[in-house]
Structure 1
Amino acid sequence: MIPTEASPKLTERLTAELRERAEALGLVIATRCRFCGTPLWHRRSVAMHAGPVCRKRHETENDPGLTPAKKSQTEAAPINPNH
C-alpha cells in the first residue's frame, strides 16, 4: 500500500516494485479512466488515470468542476438579474 502522503519519488519506486511483482506473477496493474470508466493497463494511462482518447479530449480543459467517470460536471445555476 502506498501512503497518501508519500513523496512522488517514493510513490514511483513503490509502484515500480509492485509492477515487477505483478509481472513476475503474470498479472497486470490496471485502473479505470477517471473520465469514462474504461479499463486501462498501459503504464502512462494508469499513472494519469486517463486513457489517450480522454486525455486528448480533456487536455485543454482545466475545469476543477470536472469529476471522475462519465464526464459529470458540477455547475452553478446561472444568475438571473430579473429576480
Structure 2
Amino acid sequence: MKAVLLIALLALAGCQSAPVRVELQRVNVPIPVACAEPIPVRPVMPTDQLEPGVALDQFVRAAQAEIERREGYETQLRAALENCRRSVEEPI
C-alpha cells in the first residue's frame, strides 16, 4: 500500500509544471458605429421650377444658378460623409 501511495505522490509531483506567464497585449480594432450625422436637405433646383418652353436665356441663368446650388449641396454631403468616416477611423 505504501508503494502505491509513493508512486501516486511521485506521479502527482511529475504533473506539476512551471508557472504559466500570461502576457497581455493591447490590440486596437476599429469598431464600426452607426453614423448619427444628419443628411443635408436637398435644395430646390432652379431648373425644376421652370415652365416648359421657357426662353433659352432664362434656362441658362437657371442652369448656372443650379450649378452653384449643387456645389454647395455637394460640399454639405461631403462634410457629412467625412464626419461619419472620422468617427469610425479614430483610434480608441
TM norm. shorter chain > 0.5: no
Structure number with the higher helix fraction is 2
From the CA coordinates, give the structure whose radius of gyration is larger. Answer: 2
TM (norm. structure 2) is: 0.23
Give me the TM-score of the superposition, normalised by structure 1. 0.26
Structure with greater strand share of residues: 1
Higher relative contact order (CA 8 A, sep 6+): 2
